[in-house]
Amino acid sequence: MLNILGVDVGGTFVRMGTLRDGKVENLVKRSSSEIFSAPGGAAAGLAQALKEYAGDTQFAAVGVGIPGTVSRDGERVLNVPNIPGLNDTPLRDALTDALNAPVFVENDITMLTTGDSIRLGLERGVVFGCYIGTGLGGAVLVDGKLLRGRSALCEPGHVPIYGLDRPCGCGKTGCAEAYVAGRALERLLAEKYPDGNIADIFDLMSEAELSEYVDILAHLLATAMQLLDPDAVIMGGGVCAMSGFPRELLLERLSQLCMKPVPASTLNLLYPVASDVSGVYGAAVFARNSLI
């Protein structure tokens, strides 16, 4: 039986699990600060943690999702804002040596898109993953495989929206992320609804604020629809999962912004249900698909 190790690296926790018969087993959650402050460096700390997890188990492949950018060949981790110790490290080779198995390192949103696409029955066709959390990340899959551009970067959050100029964390201005992701919602809450709870932000917003939110996100999605003509868009991440997230309004506005009759009449926005193992599952199935 094929055992695949899935690893979901986050700023707070590292989750590890074994994919066996299509299911994640033996989930272990460890503190990121403990792993990445190892004396030998962040990469060595992760290698040690995975070795401890593996014990005597031989894995057919290992998938590691990281919240940052990875070189096109998957060899080097380039930049991980929340875990600076991983910046510019040859993580793949360090883990391959430690585990004696093929290792695939990729951006965590790519891993999530891969896992969610399988759970949603989207193994074939073009899938656009749009994940809105603190920031806005994404990935494009074609028949289950990642569409890799020149720098292996898919950054829908930093698509500029014409006419807007709010500064973005990336250094540019007018990026979609600066208006529709978690940081922007936190800011709106602090400025306008300081006594409210972030979980209720979509219910607290005025009609004008909600309409602007929907309009900006719909422009971003319409751009993706017209460029990619995807079979489905996966709307993931904590913001899309919030109660009150304006699914119907978004679909209505997106439909107005897309060409008729298609893709306006065939829009397929899917909202996956996230769990504690989503990232681990995604990393493991990404590794499994990469073996083929």
Question: What are all long-range contacts of 250-255, with beta carbons under 8 Å and residues at least 24 apart?
Answer: 250/214, 250/217, 250/218, 250/221, 253/214, 253/215, 253/218, 254/218, 254/221, 254/222, 254/225
Our finding on whether 158 is near Zn ion (CB under 5 A) is yes
Residue 158 or residue 253: which is nearer to Zn ion going by CB? 158
Residue 59 or residue 179: which is nearer to Zn ion going by CB? 179
Among 23, 172, 187, 247, binds Zn ion (CB under 5 A): 172
Among 170, 199, 262, 291, binds Zn ion (CB under 5 A): 170
Q: How far is the CB of 37 from Zn ion (least distance, A)?
A: 30
Q: How many residues does the chain have?
A: 292
Here the tokens at position 240 are 């899309």
251 burial (CB, 10 Å; 0-12 / 13-18 / 19+) is middle
Here the tokens at position 104 are 């695939």
Site for Zn ion in 52-91 (CB under 5 A): none
Nearest to 15 by CA among 65, 71, 76, 84: 65
Our finding on whether 92 is near Zn ion (CB under 5 A) is no
Q: How big is the site for Zn ion, counted in residues (CB under 5 A)?
A: 5
Among 7, 46, 50, 168, binds Zn ion (CB under 5 A): 168
For residue 291, give every residue at least 6 positions away whose Cβ sits within 8 Å of its Cβ, in sequence order, or none: 60, 61, 102
Q: How far is the CB of 235 from Zn ion (least distance, A)?
A: 20
Distance CA 84, CA 71 (A): 16
Calculate helix-pair angle for 91-99, 42-54, nearest 10 degrees.
30
Our finding on whether 101 is near Zn ion (CB under 5 A) is no
Residue 188 or residue 287: which is nearer to Zn ion going by CB? 188
Our finding on whether 175 is near Zn ion (CB under 5 A) is yes
Our finding on whether 136 is near Zn ion (CB under 5 A) is no
Residues 205-234, one symbol each (x = binds Zn ion by CB under 5 A, - = not), give ------------------------------
H or E stretch covering 28? strand 23-31
Residue 178 or residue 284: which is nearer to Zn ion going by CB? 178
Q: How far is the CB of 190 from Zn ion (least distance, A)?
A: 20
Interface with Zn ion by CB under 5 A: which residues? 158, 168, 170, 172, 175
